[in-house]
Amino acid sequence: MTSLQRLKRAFNAARIWIGLGVIAPVGMLATSGFMLLDLRQDAWDKAQLTSRNLLQVLEADIARNVELFDLSIQAAVDNLRAPGVAEVSPALRQLILFDRAATARDIGVMIILDENGDVVADLDAVPPRKGNYADRDYFQAHKARAGLGLFIGHPLVSRLTGERMLPFSRRITKPDGAFGGVVMGSMKLSYFTRLFSQIDLGRDGAINLYLRDGTRVMRQPYTEADIGANIAGAATFKGFVRERSGSLIETSVRDGVERQYTFTQIGTLPLILNVALATGAIDADWRIKALVIGAIVLALCCLTIALSLLFGRELRRRTAMQAELERLSLTDALTRLPNRRAFEETGTRAWEAARRGGEPLSLLIVDADHFKRFNDRYGHPVGDAVLQGLARHLSASVHRPPDLVCRVGGEEFAVLLPDTDQAGALRIAERIHAEIAKLAIGAAGIGAGAITVSVGLASYMAADTALADLYRRADEALYRAKAGGRNRTSCADPARPSPPSTGALRLIGTP
């Protein structure tokens, strides 16, 4: 194996490692990407878990307070049926009717209305404050339908106190089953404001409480215009009523912000509570981590790829330099033909192929006639020009890619002709003489035909044990050509035995 082949093999191995050096960062990026996506999912799962926990706490607090309100209202309804309540004094009657109302927190107004909507009892005043509430939705609902149980009306502004409240009411039924009025107790909306404001949900986060018909009871952050607004047609609310509880991602019709809504219905009440976290806020912390981690991984990957590419470029440069040095080591500096080393490597391979496959192989040894006279008469520059001219015309004499023209030393050249028998080689030799006859060195006044060559020809024989045997026979034929008058071709005698080969080429100088 030649040094160039060894270098190419090493380069191919290094190229594989360079490829891995480029592919590995891609794998690192892919792995980092999956990890970052997993971190993002963790952030979303954490946000959802936090929302559910908050929802459970808020739901429990609201349900407990609504239950206390309802107990106070039910007590008033029950106490109205007690014997003798109508005959006692107004002050005692108030104590009997509203005996449990004092335990209800954040109570606003609690009144009892007769079948006409007039106030007949008032938690906060004796005698009761005057007013008619026959136009209120809760009064109309109980009047129209019996058996509603606890009815939660739309948020309203109290006519007695001017505060925003959420009304809770139950029907009063007379002994004959006829409508007898309504007991109404209202919860101040400030209760929800105080409860929700304790929770920080970050930028664009919100807590909402709705009636089941889509009416908003409370929103945190609080805005007056939000109270009483109806969003029954919004995609978000439609999602709330499809399931009793759950989670969804939708864009708010109120402000166009995309949020993750975690929602639930409060017990058996027609109230829907949700905790809404802005998706941008959920991703905010993750995005910062992702940018930092991604930037570091990307920088390391880019550095790895850059170093791999630089290493590859340097390796290619060195391979090219080595290839050029290898080429120069196989090239004759004067004639630019392959040199003796190239002839030995190529010739050995061609001889091995001929020996294994039984294919013909011929060798021409070409030597310039009287070359010493040109050097002595015209000087070495002209002698060099003669050798360069010989190289050009010898190369013009062969046309097949496997044919090889080499300068093997001094004024001696070798023409290796694979897959060529003696007859074919003779034709090539004749072409060489014809080409050389055209050679002229105008600078020295050497005209065409003044330069001639002698050619020794030998073809592969089974008796040849090495390339040196073939070369020796061609060299002997060259001597016979020179002895026979020069400017001619002489063929090696196949019947003439050759002395034992030493395994190396011996170049014999021209006499």
Give the catalytic positions in this structure: 411
What distance in Å separates the CA atoms of residue 180 and residue 174, rounded to the nearest whole number? 5
Q: Give the list of residues 6+ apart from residue 43 with CB closer than 8 angstroms, or none.
A: 282, 283, 285, 286
Nearest to 208 by CA among 220, 199, 200: 220
Expressed in angstroms, the distance from the first to the final Cα of the chain is 37
DSSP string, 281-344: HHHHHHHHHHHHHHHHHHHHHHHHHHHHHHHHHHHHHHHHHHHHHHHHHTB-TTT-SB-HHHHH
Q: Are 52 and 262 in contact (CB under 8 A)?
A: yes
What distance in Å separates the CA atoms of residue 487 and residue 454, rounded to the nearest whole number? 5
What distance in Å separates the CA atoms of residue 458 and residue 505, rounded to the nearest whole number? 15
What distance in Å separates the CA atoms of residue 422 and residue 494, rounded to the nearest whole number? 11
DSSP string, 356-401: HH---EEEEEEEETTHHHHHHHH-HHHHHHHHHHHHHHHHHH--ST
Bridging pattern class, strands 107-113 and 156-157: unpaired
> What is the largest distance, in Å, between two alpha-carbon atoms of the chain?
165
With tokens 């995309």, the residue in question is 258
Nearest to 73 by CA among 156, 163, 179, 149: 149
What distance in Å separates the CA atoms of residue 404 and residue 337, rounded to the nearest whole number? 9
Nearest to 73 by CA among 173, 182, 160, 179: 182
Q: Which amino acid is at 384?
A: D
CA atoms within 13 A on the CB side of 101: 26
Residue 413: its H or E element:
strand 412-418
